[in-house]
Amino acid sequence: MEDNSKPPTLYLMSTGDKESMMNSILAQMNLVREFDAHANQYRALRNASVVLAGDRLNFDNKLKQALKENGDLKAIDWNLEAEGNASQHDVETMEETIHFMSKRMDLQDETINDLQYQLAAQKLKENKLIEDNLQLNENLKTSVAQNATLQEEVIALRKNDMTRVLLEKFRS
């Protein structure tokens, strides 16, 4: 039996066998190159898969972060809305307070005007009373003077009456 495990030596081979062997080697080398190309494609795909897995993990983390931020923003929005509503309520309350204060000030102005009119009327009455009092004082002075004159006349008349009575007594 022949030992086929050893490759035949090239210098013992015929040209056709050499060409056939070379073609076979080239075909095998082409297969090896094709296998290497597929292996390289596989490695590239595997690397791309690792990158994509990393990208997906990053995307998932970013998504989780975005969802958390979205929740935080919703909470902030809700708080701002609540604060806005509270501020609006405060503004409305202040507007009502200002409205009532304005009405109260109007009423106070009316009261002040009424009191000023009453004070002016009181001053007029006081001035009238002062004038009346001065007139009464004048009248009193006149009455006192008239009374003094009348008393003098009465005294004079009494003197005349007494004189007449005395004269009549002396005549009688």
Q: What is the pLDDT of residues 92-107, one digit of tens each?
A: 999 999 999 999 999 9
Ranges of each domain in the chain:
15-129
121, two tokens: 């009327």
> How far separated are the first and last CA of the chain, in Å rounded?
226
H helix count then E strand count, the chain:
1, 0
Q: Which band of pLDDT confidence, cut at 50, 70 and 90, is reported for residue 1?
A: very low
Residue type, 14: S
Closest CA to 78 of 90, 70, 68, 89: 70
pLDDT in tens, 19-49: 888 899 999 999 999 999 999 999 999 999 9
13 Cβ partners below 8 Å, 6+ apart?
Answer: 21
| C-alpha separations of 9 from 17, 20, 69, 76 in Å | 11, 14, 75, 85
| pLDDT at 2 exceeding the cut of 60 | no
Q: How far apart are CA 37 and CA 44, in angstroms?
A: 10
More confident residue, 14 or 144: 144
Question: Does residue 10 carry a pLDDT above 70?
Answer: no
This prediction has a pTM of 0.43
The pLDDT, as a whole number, for residue 44 is 95
Q: Please indicate whether residue 90 or residue 6 has the higher confidence score (pLDDT).
A: 90
